[in-house]
Each structure stands twice: as structure tokens, then as C-alpha cells.
Structure 1
Amino acid sequence: MDFEEYDTEWIDLILSARKMGLTMDDIRAFLRSPFQTTQKSQNSTENDPCMSP
């Protein structure tokens, strides 16, 4: 398969996700089940002082 056969939008999305710090496993997990939250994202606001009551 030549590079030209890949969808450039998907390549851009993957590269953007990688630049944001997501691992390939993070990306794969999201693509398999985009509506499930991960433990990482559920705890992301716990230590955020802006999100404290």
C-alpha cells in the first residue's frame, strides 16, 4: 500500500493526537470505544483546584 492511499485527514488526526501526548494505545482504545471514559480522564478533574467545590 502506497502512502498516497492513506486518508490524509486520518493521518492529521493521529498526528494531532500524538502531539497532544496521547499514546497509540490511547488512540486505539478511543477508536474501539469512543464513548467510554478511561480511568485517566475520570480522575483528571480530581486534582484540579478550579474544579473543587
Structure 2
Amino acid sequence: MEYVSRVPQPPLDGLIDDLYYLEGTPPYPDVTIPGNRVLHLRYRVRRPSA
């Protein structure tokens, strides 16, 4: 399986660091990764240090 990462285009790039998904077949035939229709949102509540 491959970890695929994308950075969104402006203006979302200022708010979102990383969008990712797993692509391909699992490394072992007995491994299954169930589909999940859940959006995980992580955010910071502090100001960025610039």
C-alpha cells in the first residue's frame, strides 16, 4: 500500500497542511482495511508563530 499525500491549492493551503489516503493492495492477503466514511479533522487553536 502507498501513502498518498496532497497539499490543497489556495486558499485552502493556508488552512490545510495535508490531505492523504492509502492506495493499492494490502501487503498481506489476510490484511483488510475496512472502508470508513469518517472525516478526521485536526486543528490548532493557537496562532501560528511567524
Q: Normalized against structure 2, the TM-score is what?
A: 0.22
More helix by share: 1
More strand by share: 2
Higher relative contact order structure (alpha carbons within 8 Å, sequence separation ≥ 6): 2
Q: Normalized against structure 1, the TM-score is what?
A: 0.21
